[in-house]
Amino acid sequence: MAPRDSSVGGDVGLLPRSEAAPGAGAARLSVVTVSWQTGPRLLEAVAAILAAPGVDEFVLVNHGNPPDMIRRLREMAAGSDKLVLVETGANLGFGKGCNIGARRASGDWVVFLNPDAVLRPGSMRRMKASAAELGSGMWVLGARITNENGTEQRGGRRGELTPVSAMVSFLGLERFLPGARNLHFENQPLADGVMDVPVVSGAAMMVPRQAFLDHGGFDERYFLHVEDIDLCRQVRAAGGRVYFEPRAEILHYGGTSRTSPFFVETHKALGFIKYFWKHYPGPLQRLATMAMIGPIFAAIWGRVTLLRLKAQVQNFIHRQRVALRLRRIRRASGSR
């Protein structure tokens, strides 16, 4: 079987809008993943998606990976009726890649899934069942994103992003300011069903495909990060709803990309600045945004520097412990 390959420039047919939401049994679900220098976790993520019940189609947008990884992906596409491999030839950014994948997809619903995120058993069936109850129109449904130890990851559900909430988060002031913990909801109790929230993460986000495209998709001016926050805000402003499905779990490794952390964090900082410039257009608000540029970059780069320093210290301690064990083994061997 030849790979189901697609180029960015090709014409993609769109499904007609349906006035009524399709039932979970009749509706088709497409998963869209955008990958650029993801690392070996990508293969685990791809295998889990292809094996997941409830997934009818998997569109993998390849912005660029090592030659061996691309060869493996093409082989997997050649052997699968589900996998559609879209090769863009360049890193076009996360939001644009998701929009390309959504246009290429054929499902009634689309789940945007990070390339280092692994589906838990039953997660897509749960998302489909919940989507069937949400009705027609534009909505966003986020999954519960977990760490490897099963705890809920920060950022999967959160409050509204404002200049104040951003600075509180960047400066780590949540523990000192009453009510500031409401900015992040990962420690709040889970409901038995779908929950209304202001924002969910694009690492595992479901939308009705045609309504998403009619809405304009992700704002492609965000290269990496914050486009999901922007989408949630715009959906709510247009009368739509943002939901969180705690019963659909996704394991997100995070930090597996071979990309420089400074590259990632720089685009995150730029994303925040673009967001505030877009949604707070008043003269005084613009002045406040400009005043925040320095602190935003300082906070984000400072965090990366501290994380790198912590990793170096941990590696040094590990090497010293290994060396100490080896010396003890040699001494014990020499005394016999």
Q: Say what the pLDDT of residue 258 is.
A: 62
Q: What is the pLDDT of residue 329?
A: 80
List, for residues 71-82, the tens digit of each pLDDT value: 999 999 999 999
Q: What is the DSSP string of 10-61?
A: S----PPPPSSPPPTTT--EEEEEEEES--THHHHHHHHHHH-TT--EEEEE
Is it the case that residue 168 has pLDDT exceeding 80?
Answer: no
Q: Is the pLDDT of residue 162 over 50?
A: yes
Each residue's pLDDT tens digit, 86-143: 999 999 999 999 999 999 999 999 999 999 999 999 999 999 999 999 987 899 999 9
Percentage above 90 pLDDT, the chain: 54
Q: What is the pTM of this model?
A: 0.80
Instruction: Give me the mean pLDDT over the 265-272 stretch.
Output: 83
pLDDT per residue as tens digits for the range 3-54: 344 444 333 222 233 345 566 567 899 999 999 999 889 999 999 999 999 9
pLDDT band at 326 (very low <50, low <70, confident <90, very high): confident
Q: Torsion-angle region of residue 20: left (phi > 0), alpha (psi -120 to 50) or beta?
A: beta
2 has pLDDT over 60? no
Where in the chain are the domains?
4-258, 263-334
pLDDT digits (tens, 9 = 90+) for 119-135: 999 999 999 999 999 98
Q: Which pLDDT score is estimated for 257?
A: 63
4-258: CATH architecture: Alpha-Beta Complex (3.90)
DSSP secondary structure letter of residue 277: H
pLDDT of residue 163: 81
Number of helices (H), then strands (E), in the chain: 9, 12
